[in-house]
Amino acid sequence: MSGHSKWATIKHKKGAADAKRGKMFSKLAKEITIAAKVNGDPASNPSLRTLIQKAKAINMPGDNINNAVKKGTGELKTDEVFEEITYEGYANGGIGLVVNVLTPNKNRAAAEVGHIFKRNGSDFATRGSVSRNFERRGQIIVEKSAAEEDKLMEIVLEAGADDLVSDDNGYEVLTQPSAYQGVMTALENAGIATVSAEVVFIPTATKPLDDLAKVKSLLKFVDALEDNEDVQNVYHDADISDDLMAQAEE
C-alpha cells in the first residue's frame, strides 16, 4: 500500500509483511523472475540486485531466490507466463485505488480482485479514470542517520534524481523511472543504505482522510487486496496522518 503518508505506510507494510511472510516470498519471487529475464546477473542488473536485497531483508530462503532467478534465465523450466494488469476503483470517501497485478491467469485475477472490490462496496472504475491522477516515479526512502542531507543531495542529484524531500523521519528521493537504477547504484557506491526503494505510482494530488472509521475501512480494503496472491502492489491517494494511522491499527 502506498499513499501520501509514506513513513506510516512503510510501517504498515512491514507489519503486513511480517504477518504474511509466505505470500511476500511468492510475490517477490515473481518480480525476481521477471527481472532475471532481462539479465540474470545481479552485479550488472541493479533492478534484480535491489529485489534480491529486498528478499533477503524479509529472510526469504536462498533457494527460493535462486530458483526465481533460474526461472527467469530459463535454467529452471516453468510453464508460467506472467501478465501485468492494472485495475482501478474507489474506496470509501472517494479515495482512488490503483491495483497492480502480476498473474499467470488473468481470468482468475479479474474475478478474485473484482470480488474483493464488491465485498468492500466498490467496483472497477473505467481504465484511466483513477490512474491519470498518479505518476510513475522512483521513490527511495533513506533514514536521517544514514547520511548528511547536503551529501545525500549532491549524490542523488548528480546521479539524475529529480528531488530530495527531508522531514523529521528521514529523506525521500524522487526520480523518473529511467533514472531510478542510476540513483540506486550511486547510493550503493556511496555506502548509503535505504529503508525502501521502488518504482511506484505516486498521486499528483492527495485527498485528506481524517475520519477514523473511513481510515479503518480503507486499510481493511487495501489489506484484503494485498492478501491476494496475484496482487503485487496497491496505491491510493489518501493523505492520512501518522497519528490517525496508528489509531486505526490499534
Q: Based on the domain organization, do 119 and 221 belong to the same domain?
A: yes
Q: Based on the domain organization, do 43 and 161 belong to the same domain?
A: no
Print the domain residue range for 225: 83-132+205-248
C-alpha 238/C-alpha 250 separation (Å) is: 19
Please give the pLDDT value at position 64: 95
Please give the pLDDT value at position 10: 60
User: Maximum CA pair distance of the chain?
Assistant: 52
C-alpha 173/C-alpha 161 separation (Å) is: 7
Q: Based on the domain organization, do 126 and 166 belong to the same domain?
A: no
Q: What is the pTM of this model?
A: 0.84
Please give the pLDDT value at position 243: 86
Please give the pLDDT value at position 117: 98
- Phi, psi dihedral angles at 240 (to 5 degrees): -120, 130
CATH classification of the domain holding 172: 3.30.70.980
Please give the pLDDT value at position 250: 74
Q: Based on the domain organization, do 15 and 44 belong to the same domain?
A: yes
Q: Based on the domain organization, do 51 and 98 belong to the same domain?
A: no
Please give the pLDDT value at position 121: 94
Evaluate whether residue 157 is within a structural domain.
Answer: yes
How many domains does one find in the chain?
Answer: 3
Q: Based on the domain organization, do 141 and 163 belong to the same domain?
A: yes
Evaluate whether residue 1 is within a structural domain.
Answer: no
Q: Based on the domain organization, do 125 and 211 belong to the same domain?
A: yes
In the predicted model, residues of the chain with pLDDT beneath 50 are 1, 3-4
Q: Based on the domain organization, do 67 and 11 belong to the same domain?
A: yes
CB 196 within 8 A of CB 142: no
